[in-house]
Each structure stands twice: as C-alpha cells, then as structure tokens.
Structure 1
Amino acid sequence: MGDASKELQENRPIIYVTGFGPFDSHPVNASQIAVEKLVKQNLESDLGVKLVTEIVKVEYEYVKKTVPQRWKELKPKLVVHVGVSGMAETLTLEQLAHNHEYTRSDNCGCLPNQGSCCPDGDPVLKSGIRMDLISSKLNKMIHLKLSCAKSTDPGRFLCDFIYYLSLNEDRIRAAFIHVPPLSKFSAQDISASIAAAIKEMYAQVLELENEEQKEV
C-alpha cells in the first residue's frame, strides 16, 4: 500500500479494498488476485475516488493491528474487505460480522485473545449498507459472469474477524465480499463483479451521508 499521507494529499475520497494472502488449501488466494486487478476496472475515474488496495496476512494479530490503523490514516469513504470461500458459487455479500467464537487457527497457528475480536464489543455488528439491494442490482447486470447473493454467515475466521473490526470503526462505510476460488471463475470476471458491487456500495454510502446531513 502507498504512503497514507500521500493518498490524503490527493484530496479525493478514498475507497480502501483488501484481499487476503495464501492460506491452507488456497496457495493462490482468489481474493488477492481479484483485488490486484481492480486497478483496471476504472473505479477511480468512474467514481472520482482514490482506490487504495492492500493484501493482508491471514493472521489475527496482524489484522487487528492493521485495520484500525488504516481507518485512522486513510479516513476512507468506504472500506471493502474481500476473501475467498471454497464453498462460494457466487459473489457473496456479507451483511454482518460476529465478535466471538473464533476457534480456527491462523497461518501462525494462533487464535485471538479469548476467541474474540473485541471482547467487550457487541456480539454481532451489521453493516448499514443494504446487501440485498446490491445483490438484486448486480443480478440484473447481464455483462457480469458471476451471480450475486446476500449472506449473514462470514464464517468465524479471518474474513468474519476483519469485517467485525471495520464495522466497529464505522458501520455505514464497511462491507465484506466473499468470492469463489479461481477454479470456478477467472480472476478478471471476479474482479469485474467486485468493481460493480463497490460502485453500488459507494452510491449507498453517499446517499446515507446525504440523509445524515439533512437530519442535522
């Protein structure tokens, strides 16, 4: 990832997107490859934003340190985390994240303290972004190769964990997308669908911002 201060100096709203590196049965992580290809999806020119992408380690402590730091440095308008699921057949938009019951060891063989993301936090955090609306819109886009679905089960591993951390920072500006492995779809097709979802998410964030300003 580029220097945070340099990104801020460009004075454009920032969309921060992460993918995960290799783990277990995914020596090549589809989320990493698809996120790396987002630069070719014209998000910056189409939305008037600065796209910042980063591939994060599949480690609880690394994620717990990195995510709050990025929120502070970048002050992003939208944060979208992307992860792979071997069971996914679609682009899967996660609506919520869980705080407790993390029992699967990370790449370092470690677990989070007390098996929790934020021990004193709420059991579940829900994104203010309407994933059902985005799923409906994407499924009408005939140029996309992946269908899209909403989910409420991110899986109690690093995907769930990183999502909870971001929702704990800002529930209106955080989202998580599960993608299928590269054996099911090409990285280019996955990336195109992620970009379409990001555009819809960003539109919702701007709409929610406008509503909040009217209430002030």
Structure 2
Amino acid sequence: MIPPDRVVLHLAVESYEEHLNAAFPSGDFIIFRGIALSSGQTESCCAGFPFSIRFSRSHLIHNVAFSRYIVFLCAYRRWTLKRIMDGGETVVVTGFGPFRQFLVNPSWKAAQGLKLVGLGEGIGVHIKEVPVSYVKLNHLLHVCVPKFAVHLGIARGSRVIILEQTGKNSGYSDKDVCGFCPESRCCVQAGPEKLDSAVNMKPISKQFRRAGMDVIYSRDAGRYLCDFAYYCSLYHGQRRAALIHIPVSGSLASADRLVPLLRALIQAMLQQLDGPSETA
C-alpha cells in the first residue's frame, strides 16, 4: 500500500464557499467541500466520506491542482478521526497544552497515563492535547464530538480531585495564552446559561470519599478554558462529557496515585451512563 503522504484522493466537488472563520480572524479562506472517492490506490477506505478542508485563497491560486486533488493524508486523518468518534465505546480524554510555568501541562501528562493503562476491555481511549486558546478550542470541540469526552484540567492550590457537574456559558473575561478572550464573553451565542453533565457526579464523589479517596464534587468550574471546553462539549455532545480538575501538588499529584484513581473514576462514570439514572 502506498504511504498516506504519497497518495492523492480524488474529490467529487460539491461547492466552494468563501469563508472567514473565527479561528482565522484575518485573511481570505475558502472551504473546499467534497465527497471522497477511491483513487484505486487507497483501497476505498475513505470512499463516500464527506468532509471539508480549509485553504487560503493564495494557496489555491498557486496550486491549481488542488482544486481537483487533495493530499490523501488530509482526508485520511479526518476519516480516521470520524471513525474514532463514531466508535461505540471510545472515550476521548483531553489534556491542556503549555500554560504559564507548565511547559508540559500536568493534565496532558495524566491523559497520556490513561492512554497507557487503558479503561478496560472493550473500551478504546483516544487522547488529545488541546490548546489553552478560546478560538482554537472552540473550533476543535465543535468539529469533534465523541461518544463521551473527559476533559482534564489543573486546579492550582488544590490537593484533591474535583468532579465538575456544571459548565457555564457566560462570564469568560480572563485572557488565554494568546492574550484573547471572547468578545461576547460566552461559549455559545444564545445557548443555555448552564449545562449539567449527563453523569451525576455527586454520588460518584460520595462513593470514592467513603472509600477514603480525595475526591470532591463542584458546580463551579472557574470560567476559564476548562469551563469553556466543558460547556462546549456538553452543548455539542448531548451532555455526555466530564470535567475533572486534578491537583498539581501533594501526594495525589504523582502519576502512580493519580492515574489509577482517574481510571476508576471514568469507569464509574461509564457504568452510570450505561445503567439506570442516578439521583443525588
């Protein structure tokens, strides 16, 4: 089989659309929409898969061939992502990228640890490092809607794990790592002010506290990027999402204690989603 970076995939072009996306505040871009067709070299793995790819106008002008051919890797990545997101028991776990003094964010380290240990037989784990950026994060979460999303964030000053129940839509006035905050100060225009996870976090936190674990319940995720990501996932993903704030200091911050506890917490959430509804 020809390597993905060497193969081109033919497109049945549906439309061109001039588009100025919030993720690209300056410049002139074109959305290239199409249906993937087999080129004969791809073994039809992407055939029939609809997707859109954004190109700058100048790039298209200087690369006329791209108006009919798109590098296979672009299509392949989107097809793979869609296959992951449509997987029956796949959990997507996100950790944040560099933030302030953290060149490697502890939440991303925790996500990597979960990938290594897994969540049990028959449950796939896909991890993603997400930027501490409102614009990039909003675009990513709008496009990628998994069956269940678990967002990991850091809670500076805390020595316990915090299970967040609620995502808030408005009040985002603190700037991200790019020095930006939403002009509207909200996640989704005209969206509900608050959204709760389909998972009832209170009985889970009680269960783990009774077992002597440092886990608490919260309805205030802080109105920063963690809260922003959580609300967007709840809004776009039918409330099948969780936000877990992890400590960055204390004994629980060590990977050998943190990762097994996170694994058990997520397993409890999945069991609740698959079982009868819980009451607080």
TM-score bracket for this pair, using the shorter chain length: 0.7 to 0.9
Task: Establish whether residue 69 from structure 1 lines up as the match of residue 146 from structure 2.
Answer: no
**Counterpart mapping for 1:2-151 below 5 A:** 3-7=80-84, 12-45=88-121, 48-71=122-145, 76-141=146-211, 147-151=214-218
**CA offsets, 1:65-95, max 9 Å, x none?**
0012110xxxx33111110010222110000
Displacement of 1:175 after TM fit? 0.8
Displacement of 1:12 after TM fit? 4.3
The letter for the 1-side match of 2:175 is: S
Contact 1:94 1:131 in 2 (8 A): yes
Contact 2:158 2:249 in 1 (8 A): no
Query: What stretches of structure 1 of length at least 5 have no aligned partner?
Result: 212-216
Displacement of 1:30 after TM fit? 1.3
The letter for the 1-side match of 2:207 is: K
**Aligned equivalents of 1:99 and 1:57: distance in 2?**
19
Of structures 1 and 2, the one scoring higher in RCO (CA 8 A, sep 6+) is 1
Greater shift after overlay, 149-158 or 180-189? 180-189
1:153 to 209, 213, 220: 220
Displacement of 1:5 after TM fit? 4.2
**Aligned equivalents of 2:82 and 2:224: distance in 1?**
31
Task: Establish whether residue 189 from structure 1 lines up as the match of residue 251 from structure 2.
Answer: no
Where is the helix percentage greater, Structure 1 or Structure 2?
A: 1
Where is the strand percentage greater, Structure 1 or Structure 2?
A: 2
Q: Helix, strand or coil: the match of 2:151?
A: strand
Query: What stretches of structure 2 of length at least 5 have no aligned partner?
Result: 1-76
**CA offsets, 1:29-88, max 9 Å, x none?**
21111111102323142xx111111110000011100012110xxxx3311111001022
**Aligned equivalents of 1:200 and 1:171: distance in 2?**
19
Contact 1:30 1:182 in 2 (8 A): no
**Aligned equivalents of 2:214 and 2:187: distance in 1?**
31
**Aligned equivalents of 1:113 and 1:14: distance in 2?**
34
**CA offsets, 1:73-130, max 9 Å, x none?**
xxx3311111001022211000001111111111111112311111211111111211
**Aligned equivalents of 1:114 and 1:8: distance in 2?**
30
**Aligned equivalents of 2:229 and 2:239: distance in 1?**
15
What is the aligned residue count?
Answer: 199
The letter for the 1-side match of 2:244 is: I
Q: Percent identical across equivalent pairs?
A: 31
Which has more radius of gyration?
A: 2
| Match of residue 214 from structure 1 | none
**TM-score, normalized by length of structure 2?**
0.66
Q: Helix, strand or coil: the match of 2:144?
A: helix
4+ runs deviating over 4 angstroms: none
The letter for the 2-side match of 1:156 is: R
**Aligned equivalents of 1:54 and 1:147: distance in 2?**
26
